[in-house]
Amino acid sequence: MYSQLLTVAALAALATAQNETMPSNSTEGGSMSLTQLLDSTESLSTLKTAVRGVPGLAEMLGSAENVTILAPSNEAFQMFMETPAAAALADNDTEAIQALLSYHIINGTYASSAVTETPVFLPTMLNDSMYANVTGGQVVEAVMQEDSVVFYSGLLSNATVTMADQNFTGGVVHIIDNVLTIPQNVSSTAVAAGLSGVAGALTRANLVDAVDSLTDVTIFAPNNSAFQAIGSALPNMTTSMLASILQYHVVDGTVAYSSSLEDGMTVPAMMGGDLRITIDDGDVFVNSAKVVLPDVLVANGVVHVIDNVLNPNNSMAMPDPTASVQTPAFSGVTSTDSVDITSGIPTPTTPIGAGPTPAEDAGGEDGGAMMTSAEGAASPMKTGAVGAAALFAGAGMWVNI
């Protein structure tokens, strides 16, 4: 089960403990403990109830030091409870609840004044490999937008700080207006985001489980228009050819968020060879492809959506920063209105949250917002457990196109 959610039934069961006393973490000097902070903040009563329902969590938080807690308000939980995802959970899954709450606890104390217009990616206490395969803990993105501190989580869901810098003995609490979404695995994110070309290509190349189970990855994911641009070549590609191309879009062992990309740097592709990063007037390119939507968090790293399919046999392809659409990296190809690899891939129905740098044509064939098939928060899903070696099974050929 992926993004750990709280059901109405679960919270009702937890509410029986509401009058119990949480462990105190008061220290000398008169500082407020987390217990006292939650008890004195009426808008956090639902969070307090949820924490008490997870064995050992209240004790852990009571003794926590140097942490930042992103605390959903009662209204945030209420909105979450009204989504189909919350209503669909049949069980009071304390493991799932703990994972969700852990994702709201950042390692380190970060005052709101520390967040700027440059995105930062902060590791949380969610390090259970059943839900995250990112070394050091799954991250949230923090950025200042229009004078507000905003946190981005899975599926580009965003939560705005409504009350900042509530200090307690172990760190600081920021009250937020939405429950964070734990990032899904790569394949589910591709479907939810309307990246049907990526989802279909992974399926045809038998790489879904392998990619989902990697640890610490960066994936440059072509949008649907990119696959359409080389549409004439796709029917002639063998499984091995397609797998080789997909491997060239994966950086294994490195999570390269947008803030860590630099002009002129190279990163090693999983299949071999390098990917070259170019930054021109704020636009980011990998080889000849432009990043049209950065920093889509996934269970095992990050996805950057690009407008071109990368060609391992044309690694020296250079971008044209002045062009609205980049030239395909494959020679002799023609575009098509549709591609057969998307057959059977679910069509999303509602847009996922907009990221800090939204761009047109991120996922859909006609541009616009990325989409999700859920009518609210995403359904729970745990990470895979297959292994990186599967990526190389039957995928040893480079494509000569």
Q: What is the pLDDT of residues 371-387, one digit of tens each?
A: 443 334 444 455 543 33
| Average pLDDT across the chain, whole number | 82
Distance CA 274, CA 27 (A): 53
User: Which pLDDT score, from 0 to 100, does residue 75 have?
Assistant: 96
| Distances 210 to 218, 258, 290, 300, 390 between C-alpha atoms, Å | 14, 24, 26, 12, 6
Q: Which residues of 283-302 are buried (b: 16+ CB within 10 A; e: fewer)?
A: ebbbbbbbbbbbbbbbbbbb
User: Which pLDDT score, from 0 to 100, does residue 93 have?
Assistant: 73
Check pLDDT > 70 for residue 286.
yes
Q: Which residue has the higher pLDDT, 370 or 74?
A: 74
DSSP 229-285: HTTTTGGG--HHHHHHHHHTTEEET----GGG--TT-EEE-TTSSEEEEEEETTEEE
Distance CA 106, CA 172 (A): 10
**8 Å CB contact between 169 and 34:** yes
Above pLDDT 70, what percent of the chain?
A: 77
pLDDT grade, residue 61 (50/70/90)?
confident
Q: Which residue has the higher pLDDT, 67 or 6?
A: 67
User: Which pLDDT score, from 0 to 100, does residue 192 have?
Assistant: 93
The stretch 164-191 carries a mean pLDDT of 95
Side-chain-side CA neighbours of 350 within 13 Å: the count stands at 9
User: Which pLDDT score, from 0 to 100, does residue 353 have?
Assistant: 61
Among the listed residues 75, 151, 79, 85, the one whose alpha carbon sits nearest the alpha carbon of residue 112? 151
- In this structure, of 213-217, 248-252, 390-394, the range with the lowest mean pLDDT score is 390-394
Check pLDDT > 60 for residue 109.
yes
Tokens of 299: 């269970």
User: Which pLDDT score, from 0 to 100, does residue 381 have?
Assistant: 52
Among the listed residues 145, 150, 131, 8, the one whose alpha carbon sits nearest the alpha carbon of residue 79? 8
The stretch 145-172 carries a mean pLDDT of 96
Q: What is the DSSP letter of 308?
A: S
User: Which pLDDT score, from 0 to 100, does residue 352 have?
Assistant: 66
What are the start-end ranges of the E strands in 13-152?
67-72, 105-107, 120-123, 139-145, 148-152
Check pLDDT > 50 for residue 48.
yes
